Amino acid sequence: MNPLEKLYSFGDRLNKRLKKPIRIPEARVLSVGNITTGGTGKTPATIYFSKLLRSDYPVQAILSRGYGGNLSRQTNLLSNGNRLLMSSDDSGDEPYLMAVNLPGVKIAVGRNRLKNAQALVKDFGIKLFILDDGFQHYRIHRDADVVLIDATNPFGSGRLLPNGILREPIENLKRASIIVLTKTDLVNDVELDTLREKVQKVSRLSHIFLSTHTAKGLVKIPHDYTPQYIPTLENFSILNHETVWALSAIANSHAFEEMLRRAGAERIEQISFRDHHNFSEKDIRMILSRIRPYDLVVTTEKDYVRLRKYAQELSVLKQFYYLKIEFEVCENEILLKEGLKALLMQA
């Protein structure tokens, strides 16, 4: 561990020691997080866990940092469960995407998640909070910690930030209540078994869950988006025998391209930006200079949220879609649900 990694590790330990976790009265808290920076598919997973526990905890809310949003330093209600109260620019793309996919669920964004939680309990009587990206959030007491690990790139080089992708040492997986390996369909069985054994040994958990991010279909991007727009899925046959432009600004663009290949894309051209990239007019001009009007373009749902403000400029693209994906647990979903319920109930 070099000096920069030691400094980062020291800061994390100090932060953990100084912040005594505060329990939210009469509410349970489930954290969904990871020990690496990006790429684990956390947003679809958070949506999944919200739906998984909806029947047992119908009055629930998600607390998000709102990374990349203009108002991430403030405390704001993005969704009251019935309507959206902020734009994606203000809230950040990931919480906005959760709000669109989780009608009925309150979603708050901002750095002070404790303050947001206390306000939501007072105003709505929330019984379950899902703490988005909460494994390194030490201010709120959690009753269960779900940790996601990307099977295609679990720990990077094994080094801590800023020289690697690890937020904390691998041995800290011992804090996890439940561990889920994601994108397991994109690695071979030998790699998967090796990773599962390693994670099981470090975490000391009796079971490691496997999951996939399954492509469900393509959604045609409208040229004149309105909040009343209802997306419809189209099958993957349109990908056959055409060059597909994969447009993304996510942590793992290679996994996105592999999903397109498995869906039937034979030839893929890539235009990728760094994760959470805030698209500019210059970027749009560059994209349109490379792509012809009748080329087939596919982006991610998260990127679609960010690109929507350029709908007029992008309307020249006649075949513009986003890939609809859903987080799915491969096996033992009942065990996962009952295990989470037990952890939350015993609190």
Do 239 and 253 have their domain in common? Answer: yes
Do 280 and 132 have their domain in common? Answer: no
Residues 6 or more apart whose CB falls under 8 angstroms from that of 297 comprise: 244, 245, 247, 291, 317, 319, 320, 321
Domain with 180 in it: 3-212+328-346
Do 168 and 54 have their domain in common? Answer: yes
pLDDT of residue 242: 87
pLDDT of residue 226: 60
CATH of the domain at 204: 3.40.50.300
Do 197 and 71 have their domain in common? Answer: yes
Do 237 and 312 have their domain in common? Answer: yes
Do 151 and 129 have their domain in common? Answer: yes
Length of the chain: 347
Do 247 and 118 have their domain in common? Answer: no
Query: Inter-axis angle of helices 93-101 and 42-52, to 10 degrees?
Result: 30
Distance CA 260, CA 323 (A): 8
Distance CA 113, CA 127 (A): 16
Q: Which of 278, 329, 337 minimizes the C-alpha distance to 302?
A: 278
Number of independent structural domains in the chain? 2
3-state DSSP call for residue 292? coil
pLDDT of residue 39: 82
Do 188 and 261 have their domain in common? Answer: no
Do 13 and 143 have their domain in common? Answer: yes
Distance CA 210, CA 204 (A): 16
User: Would you state the structure tokens that stand for residue 166, as one six-digit string?
Assistant: 């690890």
Do 337 and 273 have their domain in common? Answer: no
pLDDT of residue 18: 61
Do 69 and 156 have their domain in common? Answer: yes
- Tell me the mean pLDDT per 10 residues along the chain, length 347: 64 66 94 93 96 98 90 86 91 93 96 95 97 95 97 94 93 97 96 98 97 95 69 90 94 93 95 93 97 96 93 95 96 96 91
Cβ proximity of 158 and 171 under 8 Å:
no
Do 183 and 247 have their domain in common? Answer: no
pLDDT of residue 131: 97
